[in-house]
């Protein structure tokens, strides 16, 4: 039992990858999903593929919008209708080193990953607080734990999401609104297709979605996986900077030798 049956969620970033699989998984749990992203056709096909679900708040829906547009975000929340919770899974990524910045891509990454999350939260958190119930789940990344090579821009947005979730915890304490953040390792998707390096412990989006659903049921603030990588990242973030730099330099050398 995950406690998700009969609930209705707004899932932003549902058209592909982890978000699409999460929507399918939630529907199998008996959760209605209002699915959002920019690609309307992909959302409509997702709604067709999900197990049909009816809840007191309504059924599945496809609500296409762009999270980089503030007015469109407010309108989308209105069109979605009543929900028990929101999952922010929209994301943009380009592997990038600080030595070769692509400012246009950086601005898009920040706008989608961070400012987009703020737009969505600003639309629904006040409503959740007013009625004294709700659930916020942000999809971050293990990369947010520490500065890493070629994660310029993307890593900063994921660290910011972890900070944002901490702030929400403080501000929503006692409000009846639950806050969680999910920090996955590598997952097969359009985003990881851009990586030229070996990705340890990479898993399918189906596996990641199943772990997220289990994590929602367990109700810990952070859902982090796979275990070995999550533990390594937590240790890395606790290490003194010189030791961490040595380890990262060692990793870089190995990557150069065995790309």
Ligand X SMILES: NC(=O)c1ccc[n+]([C@@H]2O[C@H](COP(=O)([O-])OP(=O)(O)OC[C@H]3O[C@@H](n4cnc5c(N)ncnc54)[C@H](OP(=O)(O)O)[C@@H]3O)[C@@H](O)[C@H]2O)c1
Give the binding site for ligand X (CB under 6 A): 13-19, 37-39, 42, 66-68, 89-93, 112, 139, 141, 184, 186-187, 189-192, 205
Tokens of 187: 């997952």
**Min dist. Cβ of residue 45 to ligand X (A):** 12
- Of 18 and 26, CB closest to ligand X: 18
In angstroms, the CA 62 to CA 37 distance is 9
Tokens of 142: 């293990």
Q: What are phi and psi of 202, to 5 degrees?
A: -65, 140
Q: What are phi and psi of 110, to 5 degrees?
A: -65, -40
Task: Point out the catalytic residue in the list 9, 88, 93, 154.
Answer: 154
Instruction: Output the CA angle 46-47-51, nearest 5 degrees.
Output: 100
Q: Length of the chain in residues, anyone? A: 259
**Min dist. Cβ of residue 75 to ligand X (A):** 13
In angstroms, the CA 35 to CA 14 distance is 6
Judge whether 154 counts as a catalytic residue: yes
- Of 109 and 125, CB closest to ligand X: 109
HEC string of 114-176 equals HHHHHHHHHHHHHHHHHHCCEEEEEECCHHHHCCCCCECCHHHHHHHHHHHHHHHHHHHCCCC
- Of 13 and 134, CB closest to ligand X: 13
DSSP strands (E only) in 56-125: 58-59, 61-62, 85-88
**Min dist. Cβ of residue 7 to ligand X (A):** 21
**Torsion 98-202-215-131 (CA) sign:** positive
**Min dist. Cβ of residue 36 to ligand X (A):** 7
- Of 139 and 243, CB closest to ligand X: 139
**Min dist. Cβ of residue 18 to ligand X (A):** 4
- Sheet containing 61-62: which strands, arranged edge to edge? 61-62, 32-36, 8-12, 85-88, 134-139, 177-184, 222-225
- Of 24 and 90, CB closest to ligand X: 90
Report, as residue numbers or ranges, the catalytic residues: 154
């Amino acid at each position: 039992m995950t406690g998700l049956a009969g609930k209705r969620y707004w899932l932003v970033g549902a058209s592909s990858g982890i978000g699409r699989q999460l929507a399918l998984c939630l529907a199998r749990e008996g959760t209605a999903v209002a699915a959002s992203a920019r690609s309307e056709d992909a959302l409509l096909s997702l709604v067709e593929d999900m197990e049909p679900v009816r809840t007191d708040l309504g059924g599945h829906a496809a609500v296409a919008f762009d999270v980089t547009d503030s007015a469109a975000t407010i309108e989308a929340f209105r069109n979605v209708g009543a929900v028990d919770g929101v999952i922010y899974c929209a994301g943009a990524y380009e592997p990038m080193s600080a030595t070769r910045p692509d400012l246009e891509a950086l601005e898009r990454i920040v706008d989608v990953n961070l400012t987009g999350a703020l737009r969505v939260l600003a639309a629904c958190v006040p409503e959740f607080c007013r009625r004294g119930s709700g659930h916020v789940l942000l999809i971050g990344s293990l990369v947010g734990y520490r500065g890493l090579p070629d994660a310029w821009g993307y890593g900063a947005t994921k660290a910011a999401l972890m900070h944002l979730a901490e702030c929400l915890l403080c501000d929503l304490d006692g409000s009846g609104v639950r806050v969680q953040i999910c920090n996955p390792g590598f997952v097969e998707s359009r985003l990881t297709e851009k990586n030229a390096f070996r990705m340890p412990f990479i898993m399918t989006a189906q596996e990641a979605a199943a772990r997220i659903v289990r994590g929602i049921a367990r109700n810990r603030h952070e859902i982090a996986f796979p275990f070995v990588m999550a533990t390594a990242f937590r240790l890395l973030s606790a290490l003194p900077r010189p030791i961490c730099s040595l380890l990262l330099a060692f990793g870089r050398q190995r990557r150069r030798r065995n790309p």
